[in-house]
Structure 1
Amino acid sequence: LLSKPKHYIPIHILSKCRAYLSLHKPRSLISMIHRYPSIFEPFTIPWPAVPLNATKLYPQLCVRLTLAAATLAAEELNLQYSISTVLANKLHKLLMLSSHRRLLLAKLVHLAPDLGLPPNFRARLCNDHPDKFKIVNTSYGCALELVSWDTDLAKALPPRESYSRDLIVDRPLKFKQLRLRNGLNLKRPHQEFLLKFEEMQEVCPYNIPAESLAKESIEAEKRCCAVIREVLGMTVEKRTLINHLTH
């Protein structure tokens, strides 16, 4: 009904769609419509004034959505549009984080459920925003390629807030303290490395490309951590399988 220009359909045309509706004879189409009075509303309109129907002066029965159902459908459409914008921004940010500004669709499929992308995102979402990205053919298969850079989206997550140490006397610590989860014990060299790692200046993965850093440098590792943090921030549950990241 929503796909029709005037959002209604005559019953005699709807009866030809029994197989699509899984409504086989002898089940009545009218009884099915009357079974949902809060959704469907039958009404009549006159037959078109054409020579072939000149003898049919009686009105034809049609069906449309009730006012409440039409209002709910409009709200759902607006919600879908807003969600589509949010999901498109996620893909846009992923492309800006990627090294070559493109990602294979076959690889995105693995991460799509964690990002909240619909199953048909390759056919719909990837083609509904040509100003942001486009699908291109590569030697490895179809890929999603960045079209435009968005400075408003190219902003890293804010740094983690400082935590309270819950000390009896509020004074500076004599030794630096590393915050670890309960049960995690690290050797002294690793702790010293992480303390040095935390003291480094934050790296914005959008502004600093991976090619500008040495592959095995601590700065490159800092950027990799920032990229993973950005990806996890886009996921629905703020977590994903490690295999999805290694793809």
Structure 2
Amino acid sequence: MKKDPDLESALSRNHRWMVNNQIKNIILRCPDQVTSINHIQKKFKSLDLQGKAANWLKKYPCCFEVYRENYEYFCRLTKRMMFLVEEEESIKDSQELVFVERLAKLLMMSRNQRLNVSKVNELKRNFGFPDDYLLRIVPKHTDMFRVVNYTGKRSSMDIELISWNPDCAVSAVEKLAKKKGSEPSFSCLLPATWVKSWERFLEFNSTPYISPYADSSVLSEGSVEMDKRNVALVHELLSMTLWKKLSISKLGHFKREFGFPEKLNVLLLKHPGIFYVSNKYKIYTVLLREAYNGSELIEKDPLVVVKNKFGELMQEGLHEYNRRHYLMNLEKKKKKGVAKVRPIGRSRDDDEKISQLNNQEGNFGGILDAEERKRFYKVLFGDDAK
């Protein structure tokens, strides 16, 4: 699929947020909400990070406070960060009924109105569910859900839907069509020059829409109708997520429960006007095109709003860290008698580049190839770089 710079930018921005969010959760689960740097270092591989944990954490001083005690380094969340954590928890409490509806929708789209708990846990943060949703939400709504275990194995624990709610069985596509007073159909967001893709989309969209909540057992595998239903199902799942995106591998874990085709990625790539598939960070991710205007979400869930504040706090700290290192490098140059680099205004991308350079220096004891540094500063500062 041809790369969309705006959607790729949205993915890269979210990647750093997701990594730091996981670090935040690691710290919150620790006694007194403090953990050693060594403990976070051990988690680095699972976070898909390399290098030293201390270097990473110090890049975000507005989020993480690193300090030394008894010859060992520790980390805790800053006061501003804790304020956002409290705000996030408050929103989760106020959105309980929203989570109930999302969970009901997930179960209603599954073939047996039942999903494995461990599999739901893989996607819980995508849908905004609290970590303790099994204790916080499910027991309060025994008229809708129950936890069952038909095999006796701990890994076989399932959440089952007890009562079907027709008000929940309405997809995002159907809601929009009702609002417009038209028949349900998909939207295509492709340039007019993509003639063949538009022709395929119009042919696909000409057949009746099939709701993801409809009984799929009457549809034939590999038929146009089944493809239509599967596209509607992925569309609905993405519509329910906070960031309107999901990992294709995680979606693939639900092939049996949702009746997805064996080659789900092939189905998604056939509909570039509806879905955007990216392999950024070597993880195949599918985004809902219509949910974005450029690199920004059009409609933001309250949880996304508070998470964006987290992102802004991250960026503020990153800029502060880069500025501090920039001034330190200038001071070193002055002492060595090297001409001063004329500073210019920098963008967020520049902050990321400088951060990567500083991190690389930190990982290798401050030793960096002179030509690499020269090329970097020339790209960043132009011909004035010395």
Taking structure 1 as reference, are residues 216 and 130 closer, same or farther at Cα in structure 2, changes over 3 Å only? Answer: same
Contact 1:104 1:141 in 2 (8 A): yes
CA distance in 1, matches of 2:176, 2:88: 37
Q: Counterpart of 1:138 in 2: which secondary structure?
A: coil
Deviation at 1:236, TM superposition (A): 0.6
Aligned to 1:197: 204
**Larger of the two Rg values belongs to structure:** 1
Q: Structure 1 residues 184 and 143 mapped into 2: Cα distance closer, same or farther (>3 Å)? A: farther
Residues 148 and 182 of structure 1, relative CA distance in 2, 3 Å threshold: same
Deviating 4+ runs (over 4 angstroms): 75-81, 159-162, 182-188
CA 198–85 in structure 1, closer or farther in 2 if over 3 Å, else same = same
TM-score, with length taken from structure 1:
0.55
CA 1:186/1:123 → structure 2, altered by over 3 Å: closer, same or farther?
farther
Q: Which residue of 2 aligns with 1:82?
A: 94
Q: Which amino acid aligns with 1:146?
A: L
Unaligned stretches of 5+ in structure 2?
Answer: 1-30, 35-86, 178-186, 254-386
Q: Distance in 1 between matches of 2:102 and 2:206?
A: 29
Q: Partner of 1:89: helix, strand, or coil?
A: helix
SS of corresponding position for 1:135: strand
- Quote the offset at 1:98 in angstroms: 0.5
Provide closer, same or farther for how the CA distance between residues 196 and 112 of structure 1 changes in structure 2, counting only shifts above 3 A.
Answer: same
More helix by share: 2
The aligned length equals 159
2:246 is the alignment partner of 1:240: yes
1:205 aligned counterpart, secondary structure: coil
Question: Identity over the aligned pairs, expressed in percent?
Answer: 31
Match for 1:210: what amino acid?
S
Deviations 1:65-91 (Å, cap 9, x if unpaired)?
xxxxxxxxxx99986553111101100
Q: Which has the higher contact order (CA 8 A, sep 6+)?
A: 2
Structure 1 residues 222 and 187: CA distance shift in structure 2, 3 A: same
The answer to whether the 8 A contact 1:127-1:135 is kept is: no
For residue 180 of structure 1, report the CA deviation from its aligned partner: 5.0
Measured after TM superposition, the shift of residue 184 of structure 1 is 9.4
Q: 1:89 to 1:192 in 2, by over 3 A?
A: same
Gaps of 5+ in 1: 1-18, 23-74, 163-177
What does the per-residue CA deviation read over 1:107-156, in whole Å, with 9 as the maximum and x for residues that have no partner? 10111111001111123222221111110003361000000010111111
- What's the counterpart of residue 164 of structure 2? 149
Q: Does the alignment pair 1:117 with 2:132?
A: no
Aligned to 1:222: 228
Change (3 A) 1:198 1:92: same
Query: Partner of 1:213 in structure 2?
Result: 219
SS at match of 2:173: coil
Counterpart residue type for residue 241 of structure 1: S
In the aligned structure 2, how far is the partner of 1:118 from the partner of 1:184? Answer: 44
Q: With the length of structure 2 as denominator, give the TM-score of the two structures.
A: 0.36
**1:131/1:159 Cα in 2 relative to 1: closer, same or farther (>3 Å)?**
closer
CA contact (8 A) 2:148 2:158 kept: yes
